[in-house]
Chain A
Amino acid sequence: MNREQIKAALTGRGIEAVVIGASAGGVGALLHLLPGLPAGYGRPVVALLHLPENRHSQLADVFQQRMSLPVREAADKEPVSSGTLYFAGSGYHLSVEQDRTFSLSCEAPWHFARPSIDFLMESAADAYGPRLLGILLTGANNDGAAGMAAIGAAGGLTVVQDPDEAEVATMPREAIKLRAPDLVLPLKDIHTLLLMLENI
């Protein structure tokens, strides 16, 4: 896909926030996708990678070393701020409230996952409506498909990693099957899209 097509997909949308879901193979995919986003990036980026329970997540530290924008674990009641990369911590579901603050909860795991991508994406779709960009990457799980469908149904932009490129194709495939996303792209192009968001 070329830049013109990506630009056409972005034009007129007024995207205010980005949520990204990933599972198996997700660290590698996020390392291709996120470093290179400039300091002062005009939107919050919220990434949820499935993690083992009870283990303190090192993701924010790992990515902070590679990025110029601030990276941190999303904290309960914290306002969702532009120009910040947030990671969901382990053992709690992460949601975005309608007042655009984060909230945590301990409901049972969903699709064996806590945090759940569906829960994050559905709540963010409620908070941002059509002004949300949802991205779903590699994974061996059904989580995220319903969340991406909720973003699409609310009029948001949905982008799924090309299953042929994904380290594990299940998660992108399930999302595509449930509701056709706006774009199916390799990581390189999703990275381009994230950069182009700044100039739309």
Chain B
Amino acid sequence: MQPSDTDIELKMLVEAIYLKYSYDFRDYTGASQKRRVLHALREMGCDSISALQARIMHEPAAFSELLQYLTIPVTSMFRDPTYFKALREHVVPVLRTYPSLKVWIAGCSTGEEVVSMAILLKEEGLLERTMIYATDINPRSLEKARKGVFPLDAMREYTANYQLAGGSRSFSDYYTAAYNAALFDKSLCDNVTFADHSLATDAVFAETHLISCRNVMIYFKKKLQERAFGLFHESLCHRGFLGLGSKESIDFSSYAPNFEPVMKRDRLFRKR
């Protein structure tokens, strides 16, 4: 089929973004990216993708606005509670055997997953000996994540998730409520390093024992998935763990033989 004008413009836009700002969206899946760009167009008052491209070429502030649409800051605490339950039951006992730990949360977005992981590790007595690397490509998301402030009205859902995830304390012990916001205990993030890191363009920065990268791979085409799995494989220590989103799999990747499922349903894998 002949590519539509929109498809041609979209291809040029992501190329321009790459050349000008070094953000590489060229191997992101098309349908969702197209929806998000068209949504950004309407919100930013541009008539066409070409007009949007002209704007981001000349106004860096417009690019940082567009970036908010290109990344997907949809996340929650203890999302897919059974994933965290499986971490507690099948991964924590192994992690306990290490004197010090490194955990990488790749695509941490606004930090909900980081707080969830920190709470879990604290309850298992591992937080103090763990260094958590929380990375994302969106500086505004990272800034939010660093603050550790979340909407109070989400806490009911998060509390239910926390309990389903095997949490046995009172979830509200972890935050202070004020002005419709929940401010999480700062000490949870004492050992967290938030950093700008792209799975599309950057390299491995540490040897890790556990990598949690959930609902990131679905936005990547196969080629970019391969790159990301390659980074994870390189970063993980011998017999390290990899956790993916509930509908993501390593099965179709060339790295599949390098990993074995720990809990298939919860998308937990272990390096062979």
Question: Can you list, as one digit per residue, whether each of A110-131 has a CB less than 8 Å from chain B (1) or not (0)?
Answer: 0000000001001100100100
Given contacts A97-B30, A98-B30, A77 and B35 within 8 Å (CB-CB): no
| Stretch from B144-152, B175-183, B193-201, B214-222 forming part of the interface with A | B214-222
Asked whether, in the complex, the Cβ of A129 is within 8 Å of the Cβ of B1, the reply is yes
Q: How far is the CA of A139 from the CA of B131 in the complex (A)?
A: 49
Given contacts A107-B35, A119-B35, A75 and B249 within 8 Å (CB-CB): yes
Q: How far is the CA of A119 from the CA of B38 in the complex (A)?
A: 12
Question: Can you list, as one digit per residue, whether each of A35-77 has a CB less than 8 Å from chain B (1) or not (0)?
Answer: 0000000000000000000100000000000000000000111
Chain A residues with CB under 8 Å of B4's CB are: 126
Q: List 23 A-B contacts (CB under 8 A).
A: A76-B217, A77-B222, A95-B29, A95-B32, A97-B29, A97-B30, A98-B7, A98-B30, A103-B29, A103-B30, A103-B218, A105-B29, A105-B31, A105-B219, A106-B215, A107-B35, A107-B36, A107-B74, A119-B31, A119-B35, A122-B35, A123-B31, A129-B1
- Residue from the set A89, A92, A98, A105 with the largest chain B CB neighbour count within 10 Å: A105
Chain B residues with CB under 8 Å of A89's CB are: 247
Asked whether, in the complex, the Cβ of A76 is within 8 Å of the Cβ of B248, the reply is yes
B252 interfacial by beta-carbon distance below 8 Å: yes
Q: How far is the CA of A98 from the CA of B1 in the complex (A)?
A: 9
A19 interfacial by beta-carbon distance below 8 Å: no
Chain A residues with CB under 8 Å of B252's CB are: 77
A93 interfacial by beta-carbon distance below 8 Å: yes
B72 interfacial by beta-carbon distance below 8 Å: yes
Q: How far is the CA of A5 from the CA of B225 in the complex (A)?
A: 48
With an 8 Å Cβ cutoff, the count of chain A residues facing the other chain is: 23
A168 interfacial by beta-carbon distance below 8 Å: no
Asked whether, in the complex, the Cβ of A105 is within 8 Å of the Cβ of B30, the reply is no
Given contacts A76-B218, A104-B218, A95 and B74 within 8 Å (CB-CB): no
Q: How far is the CA of A106 from the CA of B72 in the complex (A)?
A: 7
Closest Cβ of chain B to A56, distance in Å, is 9
A96 interfacial by beta-carbon distance below 8 Å: yes
Closest Cβ of chain B to A46, distance in Å, is 13
Question: Can you list, as one digit per residue, whether each of A7-47 has a CB less than 8 Å from chain B (1) or not (0)?
Answer: 00000000000000000000000000000000000000000
Asked whether, in the complex, the Cβ of A107 is within 8 Å of the Cβ of B72, the reply is yes
Interface size class of B (residues with CB under 8 A): 20 to 34
Chain B residues with CB under 8 Å of A77's CB are: 222, 225, 252
Asked whether, in the complex, the Cβ of A103 is within 8 Å of the Cβ of B31, the reply is yes
Question: Can you list, as one digit per residue, whether each of B162-178 has a CB less than 8 Å from chain A (1) or not (0)?
Answer: 00000000000000000
Q: How far is the CA of A132 from the CA of B17 in the complex (A)?
A: 33
Closest Cβ of chain B to A144, distance in Å, is 16
Q: How far is the CA of A89 from the CA of B7 in the complex (A)?
A: 27
Asked whether, in the complex, the Cβ of A105 is within 8 Å of the Cβ of B247, the reply is no
Closest Cβ of chain A to B19, distance in Å, is 23
Asked whether, in the complex, the Cβ of B1 is within 8 Å of the Cβ of A92, the reply is no
Chain A residues with CB under 8 Å of B218's CB are: 76, 92, 103-106
Within 8 A of A (CB), among B80-106: 80
A196 interfacial by beta-carbon distance below 8 Å: no
Closest Cβ of chain B to A130, distance in Å, is 10
- Residue from the set A93, A96, A98, A119 with the largest chain B CB neighbour count within 10 Å: A98
A108 interfacial by beta-carbon distance below 8 Å: yes
Closest Cβ of chain A to B43, distance in Å, is 13
Asked whether, in the complex, the Cβ of A95 is within 8 Å of the Cβ of B31, the reply is yes
Asked whether, in the complex, the Cβ of A76 is within 8 Å of the Cβ of B249, the reply is yes
Q: How far is the CA of A91 from the CA of B246 in the complex (A)?
A: 10
* Partner of B32 from A54, A91, A107, A129 at Cβ < 8 Å: A107
Chain B residues with CB under 8 Å of A98's CB are: 1, 7, 30
